[in-house]
Amino acid sequence: MPDRICWGRARRATCEALPARAPDGRPDVGPGLFTDGMTSTADHLATIDALRARDFPAQRRGPGFHVADLRVSEDFWDADLTRVEEVLEEFEAELGVLVQVLTLRWGDPRVLDLADVLERSAMGEPVPPPLDDLCGYVPELYVWRVDGRWVGLGVGQGDRELPFQLLVAIGESGVG
């Protein structure tokens, strides 16, 4: 589970600490959740729940969203294509498990193709944050509307040599 959350653009990001973990170092995810054989699924769910409960930054104009990496791979500067494909498969499988669990909680997600958002951004059309950043490296988001907020999950990679990122984005408006 990450120990901090950041929002905003990469060079102007604002970061703050997430609440502390339980004494045993693991988040208390409560009864009824399962790990489906993947030790990180419960941690990911706890992160998502913590971010959903967290207030957005108190600013008149500013980010009404949180974006957090749930998992980040190694980079691939010297990796062969087989290794890159293996890691992508791992990340997509982990995303699939999270989508299944959250679908049980909240129903079917909307699949948002961010290629359209990237195209609008490239043409100079306004794109709401955080989609303006996410569309550059995440091809699609699985999005749910929950308690007046949207929750999106996706896997992205900024460039061939860069790490894969399994991420969650949570916002007030603009998606879903």
Long-range contacts of residues 97-103, Cβ cutoff 8 Å, at least 24 apart: 97/36, 97/38, 97/41, 98/41, 98/44, 98/45, 98/70, 98/153, 98/166, 99/142, 99/153, 100/36, 101/33, 101/34, 101/36, 101/41, 101/45, 102/48, 102/142, 102/144, 102/151, 102/153
Q: pLDDT value at position 128?
A: 83
| Coil, strand or helix at 39 | coil
Tell me how far apart the alpha carbons of residues 85 and 30 are, in angstroms, rounded to a whole number: 34
Q: pLDDT value at position 10?
A: 41
Look up the pTM and report it. Answer: 0.74
Q: pLDDT value at position 83?
A: 94
Q: Which residue ranges make up each domain of the chain?
A: 4-171
Tell me how far apart the alpha carbons of residues 4 and 7 are, in angstroms, rounded to a whole number: 10
With beta carbons less than 8 A apart as the criterion, state whether 13 and 6 touch. Answer: yes
Q: pLDDT value at position 57?
A: 73
pLDDT profile of the chain (176 residues), mean per 10: 45 45 43 41 92 78 81 92 95 96 97 92 88 92 94 95 95 72
